[in-house]
Structure 1
Amino acid sequence: MLDLTVTRHGALPAIDFMGRITTWRELSELADSAAASLQLLGVTPGTRVALCLPNTPHYPVLYLATLRVGGVVVNANPLYSERELEHLIADSGAEVVATCDIPDVHARVTAVAARLSLRHVITCPVADALPWPKRFAYKLLKRGDIAPLDEDAFTFDRLVSGPRRPKPVSVRSDALAVLQYTGGTTGTPKAAMLSHANLVANADAMVAHMGEARGAPCVVMGVLPLFHVFALTTVLNFALRTGAKMVLLPRFELGQLIATLDRTRPDYLPVVPTILHAVARAAEKRPIDLSYVGACISGGAPLAPETRRAFQNATGARVVEGYGLSEASPIVACQPLGGDAPDGSVGRPFPGTDVEIRDPDAPDRLLMVGEVGEICVRGPQVICGYWNRPDETDAIFVDGALRTGDLGRIDERGNLFIVDRLKNMILCGGYNVYPRVIEEALTEHPAVAEVVVIGVPDEYRGEAPKAFVVLKEATAATPAELRAFLADRLSRIELPREIELRESLPKTLIGKPSRKELVEEERAKRLRPVAGESR
């Protein structure tokens, strides 16, 4: 994909990082030099190379360099704790790790690398990726944000100043390309094995879904982290296939995002719902015109209808929702960029993708149109399994189809509707209650900003729903008022037993509300001894 894009669009911008432009030809040359140096460092086909980097140009260079020599990219979040990093690197068997020079990130990575006796740590200074005026200011004013490096530290500059061309290697299309760590369908951290063919197929399907290409390559905003599979496909691999310009931001910061959108005017903006929510709230205080954005592609978490409406009304930009998971590289379905999709659906399956609805209790049985069951997927983007987890690999397939662990239904026109996570379903007195239904009903209240619903033990019903709610600024609502609001929107069995108001909700590392942490909080409360009671 890279070679073809360089042939077609070599002189055009590939990356815009804080105003510094890298062309496709320059990106390819940097990747070649880095690939040749990786070979000198002992990287051969199958060697795992961990990338613990924010969205700087170093990530695309090292991603492409590793794959060019047959290595395997191991994606690692720079915000991981030392314990999480150590598990990921040890489990993957990574021999080389690349990271940035942000002090706390660099300290965690180098500590883990020393304990695991990794061969090499490649340090990528953030300042060096900036345009000259910003680079000078960063080094002068942000000294405390730059980790001191030893004289013998192996830096990115050393990596790309070596030989200009790597030795050619033979790599099959079904060879492993990326280890993407995920909770999967069981919650145990494991690595989805994404092949070259998986990644190319999903990029091609995205291009086909989006329709005919424009006269010139488009611009795509990369505010989501490239180490997450959603951005990896919708930003980096999509750009590789089409020659699009990637506008990269090192992290999500609302003011910086809005200013960069105004400066670069992207055609596509892949986001998670929390970003849409933040922009919509900011637009309540000052005008934000994003009508030039062709589509905001929302994924990573369920999109509340109220969040979508608020964003579209405030900015003039169109939002389309997609659905996927790491095990599918990740996109399975998406609403059309032009035209309409039924309310509540995530559109139709991607080109080349088949979706089946199966009985969760009898997976061999296919369900009829409109029936709710487990979503199962077939397609060229589906992984072959989990890294070193043969038992769990066997468990996620039924008749060759990937079991997603999500509940959904398909209408007569082929549109997919996500009902909830199978493991999130609450069993109330023998009835199935879906947290997402309650969450969507609560977000219709004008005072509700965010909500998460979980199941908690109930003596009478076995389980009951409990809602955690964050209110919008300058609004007020009591739990009793919220319950009254839900009275004609939910059945009696779906009404939350308790509504707890919070200042904020715990978030995952990509900004999604963390249901898991709330479940653990409730579990800890139940285990906590009552005052005066001996254990």
Structure 2
Amino acid sequence: MLNLAVILRESATARPDAPAILTDQQTITYGELDARSDAVAAALTARGIRPGDRVALQLPNIAEFPIAYYGILKAGAIVVPLNVLMRTPEIAYQLADSGARLLITWAGLIEDAGKVAAEAGIDDCYAAGPVPPGAARPFSELTTATDEPFPLAERNADDTAAIVYTSGTTGRPKGAELTNLQLYLNADVPGRLFELQPDDVVIAALPLFHVFGMCSTMNVGIRFGAALSLVPRFSPDAVLGAITRHRATIFDGVPTMFSALLAHPYDERYDTTSLRVCISGGDAIPAHVLDAFEHRFGVPILEGYGMTETAATITFNHNPQDRRVYSVGRPVWGVEAQIWDEAGRRLPAGRDQVGEVVTRGYHTMRGYHGKPEATAEAFRDGWFHTGDLGYLDEDGYLFIVDRKKELIIRGGYNVYPREVEEALNEHPEVLLAAVVGVPDERLGQEIKAIVVARPGCSVAASDLIAHCRERLAAYKYPRVVEFRDSLPLTAAGKVLKKSLT
């Protein structure tokens, strides 16, 4: 039996008075976090939530997120984290697809989330923060103190603990079912690699609803009894201020965050000398950014590689003394990674032996929720096929050289062109649309749409951008629109995107 919430219960038992959550306004100890999440578990159970039920959680990096997250798990329910940047159609799809019975959201999102929840048949909608009367029930109703500790619901190690949505190659979101054992080991193993200690303070600027922030920051920190310094929204000033104020020792980020920190003027207001290590993931960090950051801040950046389906970690540079600069590291304990060619044959080590990265081990998901065919395709031949291209050197270090052919990574977020193209094609004056990623110095890639208008129409680029903004999360809509008379097509009628970049 294994309930992932045991990581909080154990840390709270060992050090109840140690800080668990740090914000600008408050400090929450491990004992308090354990008690408040117990209250959430008791309240959810009283509302009829049972083990295996899905509870959607749509919150930014505020204290209510870990309180609700571990409370949901304690009740034996499955957490369905939702991106706070999603628009109404995206929220509706994920609520319906997951079968969520209850939604916990934020006051700033209640207009969209509350409406969609009602339409999805979700009677119980709670919101953190001040909300208009009748818009939702206050989150405080879930945290009324209980007299006794809530007994962790019995769950099996291979039971689903979270359903985290990630886009597939078709652009349709798929819910990766992450198990209790998978998430537990993906908290335990990486934390041991960079020797996380109870007196560490980890900056939580990565969104906790994202698998990187949820697993590699929050769960790792809680597993080892460290303090989490929550940054609700990333900005260089916010992160540097939190590092200074809380004497943070660890910063997890994506390459665009490191670039932004590097570009910041950085003056005597800030003191980052407490940092001992930085973790980079989500995309390969440019060599010049890594070199300049380490030189300026005097702290090593350890790169890792993973994805939603692997609960964040496949490979990792184990420590500052045992790393290969510009590599994403070696497979962590219990994980295998190989490079295969298109025929499914294993390739030898070598820079000229580029192929698809495949992996297997405890770290892979149970499957895609309600999508057995997609699950079977992902786990061909007993290995999880990442769709990413790379090579291994003679010492087993992995180097990623490319992503899936059509995948765009904008500021650390995955954007699949098909989803954006579908939004564009809903516009009545669009005949054909193709979306590609173009180089961007700040974000890595920017989203560009190449559009063919319907005959006799003269839609403006600004109108199409506004059209997409209403339907897609803020990081997904195109910033650049180019109009053409036609698009290059293959013999099968598919857009030849290589000719567009």
TM-score range relative to shorter protein = 0.7 to 0.9
Change (3 A) 1:8 1:362: same
In 2: Cα distance, 1:153 partner to 1:415 partner: 50
Partner of 2:31: 25
Q: How does the TM-score come out when normalised to structure 2? A: 0.79
Q: Provide the rounded CA distance (Å) in 1 between the counterparts of 2:25 and 2:50.
A: 35
Alignment check: 8 A CA contact 2:249 2:274 kept? yes
Q: 1:331-356, CA deviations, whole angstroms, 9 ceiling, x for partnerless residues?
A: 11112332253343111111111101
Q: C-alpha distance in 1, partners of 2:340/2:136?
A: 54
Aligned position for 1:158: 141
Classify 1:100/1:416 alpha carbon distance in 2 versus 1 (closer, same or farther; 3 Å). Answer: same
> 2:3 is matched with which residue?
none
Q: Distance in 2 between matches of 1:511 and 1:287?
A: 31
Q: Number of residue pairs matched?
A: 430
Q: Deviations over 1:248-307 (max 9, x none)?
A: 111112222211111112111001111111111113777865343111111112211111
CA gap of 1:4–1:304, structure 2 versus 1, over 3 A, is same
Give me the whole-angstrom Cα distance separating, in 1, the residues matched to 2:247 and 2:486. 52
Q: Tell me which amino acid in the other structure corresponds to 1:369.
A: A
Per-residue CA shift, 1:155-208, capped at 9, x if unaligned?
Answer: 121111164454653211111110100014553210110011110011111123
Residues 103-161 of structure 1, C-alpha deviation per residue, up to 9 Å, x if partnerless?
xx110111101111202001111xxxxxxxxxxxxxxxxxxxx54233x9421211111
8 Å Cα contact 2:391-2:399 kept in structure 1: yes
Matches within 5 A, 1:270-289: 270-283=252-265, 289=271
Structure with the bigger RCO (C-alpha within 8 Å, sep 6+) is: 2
Residue of 64, 70, 89 corresponding to 2:95: 89
Is the 8 Å Cα contact of residues 358 and 385 (structure 2) preserved in structure 1?
yes
Partner of 1:246: 228
The answer on whether the counterparts of 2:74 and 2:151 sit within 8 Å (CA) in structure 1 is no
Give the C-alpha shift of residue 223 in structure 1. Answer: 0.9
Contact residue 85 and residue 473 of structure 2 kept, 8 A? no
Equivalent-residue separation in structure 2 for 1:52 and 1:210 (angstroms): 30
Q: Are the structure 2 counterparts of residues 106 and 318 from structure 1 closer, same or farther at C-alpha, using a change threshold of 3 Å?
A: same
Contact map agreement 1:289 1:315 (CA 8 A) in 2: no
For 2:230 and 2:438, the matched residues in 1 are separated by 36
Q: Is the 8 A contact 1:369 1:412 kept in 2?
A: yes
**Secondary structure of the equivalent of 2:264?**
helix
Partners of 1:8 and 1:510 in 2: how far apart?
Answer: 41
Structure 1 Cα separation of the partners of residues 267 and 329 of structure 2:
33
Aligned twin of 1:226: 208
For 2:119, give the aligned amino acid.
R
Instruction: Please list the CA deviations of residues 382-415 of structure 1 after superposition, one character each: whole Å capped at 9, or x if unmatched.
Output: 1121000101000011221110010111111010
- Structure 1 residue 366 and structure 2 residue 372: aligned? no
Alignment of 1:411-450 (within 5 A): 411-424=393-406
Change (3 A) 1:90 1:286: same
The one-letter amino acid paired with 1:404 is T
* Closer/same/farther in 2, CA of residues 418 and 511 from structure 1, 3 Å limit: farther
Question: Gapped runs of 5+ residues in structure 1?
Answer: 126-145, 426-434, 440-451, 455-464, 473-505, 529-535
Give the TM-score, by structure 1 length.
Answer: 0.75
Matches within 5 A, 1:112-191: 112-125=116-129, 146-150=130-134, 153-161=136-144, 163-164=146-147, 165-166=149-150, 169-191=153-175
User: Counterparts of 1:390 and 1:199 in 2: how far apart (Å)?
Assistant: 21
Native 8 Å contact 2:40 2:143 kept in 1: yes
**Counterpart residue type for residue 311 of structure 1:** F
SS in 2 for 1:422: coil
Alignment of 1:196-345 (within 5 A): 196-211=180-195, 213-214=196-197, 216-283=198-265, 289-339=271-321, 341-345=323-327
| Matching of residue 111 in structure 1 with residue 115 in structure 2 | yes
Measured on the aligned residues, the alpha-carbon RMSD in Å equals 3.0
Over 3 Å counting, the alpha-carbon distance change for 1:161 and 1:471 in structure 2 is closer
Q: Deviations over 1:60-107 (max 9, x none)?
A: 1111111111100001011100111111111111010001112xx110
Deviation at 1:526, TM superposition (A): 5.7
Deviates more, 1:70-79 or 1:415-424: 415-424
Which residue is equivalent to 2:494? none
| Structure 1 residues 335 and 167, CA gap change in structure 2 (3 angstroms) | closer
Within a 5 Å distance, the mapping from 1:5-24 to structure 2 comes to: 5-24=11-30
Q: Check 1:75–1:410 CA distance in 2 against 1; reply closer, same or farther (3 A cut).
A: same
Alpha-carbon distance in 1 for matches of 2:138, 2:442: 46
Q: CA separation in 1, counterparts of 2:267 and 2:273? A: 18
Alignment of 1:35-50 (within 5 A): 35-50=41-56
Decide whether the 8 Å contact of 2:359 with 2:383 is kept in 1: yes
User: Structure 1 residue 15: deviation in Å?
Assistant: 0.4
**Residue identity opposite 1:199 in structure 2:** L
Query: In 2, Cα distance between the equivalents of 1:5 and 1:423?
Result: 43
**Could you list the per-position Cα deviations for residues 308-351 of structure 1 after superposition, in whole angstroms to 9, with x for gaps in the alignment?**
12222222222111110001001111123322533431111111
Letter in 1 for 2:396: G
Unaligned runs of 5+ in 2: 1-6, 418-435, 444-467, 488-501
Q: Measure, in 1, the Cα distance between the counterparts of 2:283 and 2:229.
A: 23
What is the DSSP-based 3-state SS (H/G/I as helix, E as strand, rest coil) of the residue aligned with 2:337?
strand
Instruction: Give the percent of matched residue pairs that are identical in Structure 1 and Structure 2.
Output: 33
Task: Output the amino acid matched with 1:281.
Answer: A
Judge conservation of contact 1:58–1:124 (CA < 8 Å) in 2.
yes
Task: Specify the code of the residue in structure 2 equivalent to 1:200.
Answer: Y
- CA distance change for structure 1 residues 93 and 343 in 2, over 3 Å: closer, same or farther? same
